[in-house]
Structure 1
């Protein structure tokens, strides 16, 4: 029987992700629109976004937070091109985005001393094999595999290399061990459901020291330059962005940050995401035809939840299309490079009630397509 109740919000995409509950464009503070981002009102909004991010995420006082171009991809590329080359590099990857960072380091930067630590989709490499005297590049949460690192215990406190972490689908949804992270990047359109094209960088004092003491052997385009005359460009970390940002996107991000404050801060956001995963976990445990792609419980993502179904690729496409046609769930098929299955976003902006309402539809769609050719 077709279910009678639908999720009130069918947006389960893993990026851009669902807006916060109750989101309305009319609620945004648009006083900065049409104004220069260099004006007092523009710089104030950008600085507020930086300061609120730092406060909500409980980032150490001596760390730097900045807004940079081109989403998380731009933020990561900026850091790879600006910092790498001084030391050997260990690159840990277990899904497509981490593999992309390895490819850029090996083929674009053409570094010779690069050590890949890899695992198949659903697994995590042995992170204890990383060398604390090397730079280490990794994703905190594999957005396309649904596999996350459980903690940062494997990172040495006595390291001489830098840890560079792509945390775009983890920040605001998973506890971050900032003392173990020298460079962290994320984007607004993931856990906070913000708009695209803007990235965030979080730098430890060790990362700043590297930037000010090391000059890469390759040229850096303007949008990658964080130093001038061997000194950090401080303005980037107080709201003077490298290029022109969208002030509408900034207003949207500030709205999301205010919502995080209203619900009780980052701990409340993490709890919302973990509760969504728990709802899905209970469902999976009750049905033999669906399972997690992540093989170990402690490594299961609570944001980009990736699932395997006992269906063919053709049936899975039909499955996703059925739910979209019914306006029940949009964009939940696996990422194009990942094993076939589902990827359901369970970050903080997704309401538990909507996850609950989705579950009968998953069963209905499975029953509808399992015997199709």
Structure 2
């Protein structure tokens, strides 16, 4: 690794966190001035704002008209838990886990729901796993994009249209940045704080007609907490999908979500959002091609995420370190970038291999990504020097 001079250009926005993520370009708090603060979310005007989040989301994402979309408690985690606790158990289930959140859903299925007929199809960080191991006669639970691994599902071609089971997809870091195959999915969840840079604590739950049929014909054998209940007297609670939330939402966050959605609509909708994210990935990929110390954690180029861009450190000085030394060096690298004010919160996820994780979602400007990359080289040389005795 050659010595690198300290760069002169800094990213205009150093927020590269993978959640909550950067606000949209040009955002100011003035965008929230119309929020219905101090009003009941059940009143007609605030309820209309909640419904607007739903209608705008469906329109921008190209969701089929016969799908339901609702705002639910507790972010993407709440939406996924609600789906699993309400729908699973009717048949066997395969959980595909190639990063920490998928492993979390597998733990919930096996140890908390305690389903006897459950299989976990696991792959290590950097790999997607064997798609042929999945049995679509069973229910399927998977993440479209591994937020903590930087690995994504490139497409849904392997999911049959005539599948017997339901396909439940955690799409929180894929929605609004990747083209989701609605005809191959039955449940899709995400949160506001990812690709559109919204605020936390609210989740989105999308249900296909097949998922609704399961809800209305199957009753789980376990008790459901109030915030998980999607049906009443055997019928879908349609109000949830019209803006009648189960618990009290933040109308400030609702206004912020609408602002992000209107921005997305203004710049060209889903194609523009995808193009912005893919441009960020392309910028990092061009840099990786010339790097002598970093590479993508995702082993196959087609599986590289354009949102949670995860990098591993391949320099000899780093790979020669013991595991605890690698973890320390990677943390020092991220901390140095934060100290310089050029990149906040880009250390790898706590369960992932030591490295860096750069958010490349649509609210991040490619110019900021390009400005960041020379700083990565500079910081790596500084950290390498401190580990000189092991080189």
TM-score range, shorter chain: over 0.9
Question: Does structure 2 conserve the Cα–Cα contact (< 8 Å) formed by 1:92 and 1:127?
Answer: no
2:15 pairs with one of 5, 11, 14: 11
- What does residue 65 of structure 1 align with? 69
Distance 2:39 2:78 in 1: 25
Distance 2:118 2:385 in 1: 48
Q: Which runs of 5+ in 2 are unaligned?
A: 319-325
Q: Deviation of residue 313 (structure 1)? A: 2.4
The reply to whether residue 339 of structure 1 matches residue 340 of structure 2 is: no
Distance 2:222 2:329 in 1: 48
Distance 2:204 2:131 in 1: 25
Distance 1:170 1:46 in 2: 22
1:360 pairs with one of 374, 385, 389: 374
- What does residue 335 of structure 2 align with? 321
Question: Does structure 1 conserve the Cα–Cα contact (< 8 Å) formed by 2:94 and 2:140?
Answer: yes
Q: Deviation of residue 29 (structure 1)? A: 4.2
Distance 1:262 1:184 in 2: 24
- What does residue 173 of structure 1 align with? 177
Question: Does structure 1 conserve the Cα–Cα contact (< 8 Å) formed by 2:71 and 2:245?
Answer: yes
Change (3 A) 1:31 1:320: closer
The reply to whether residue 259 of structure 1 matches residue 263 of structure 2 is: yes
Q: How many residues align?
A: 373
Q: Which runs of 5+ in 1 are unaligned?
A: none
Q: Deviation of residue 315 (structure 1)? A: 1.9
Question: Does structure 2 conserve the Cα–Cα contact (< 8 Å) formed by 1:2 and 1:361?
Answer: yes
Distance 2:328 2:190 in 1: 34
- What does residue 90 of structure 2 align with? 86
Q: Deviation of residue 31 (structure 1)? A: 4.0
Structure 1 length-normalised TM: 0.99
Question: Does structure 2 conserve the Cα–Cα contact (< 8 Å) formed by 1:75 and 1:185?
Answer: yes
Q: Deviation of residue 252 (structure 1)? A: 0.3
- What does residue 20 of structure 1 align with? 24
Distance 2:269 2:33 in 1: 21
1:186-211 per-position Cα deviation (integer Å, ceiling 9, x unaligned): 00001111000000001000000000
Residue 184 of structure 1 aligns to a residue in which SS?
strand
The reply to whether residue 32 of structure 1 matches residue 2 of structure 2 is: no
Structure 2 length-normalised TM: 0.94
1:104-143 per-position Cα deviation (integer Å, ceiling 9, x unaligned): 0000000010111111000011122211210000000011
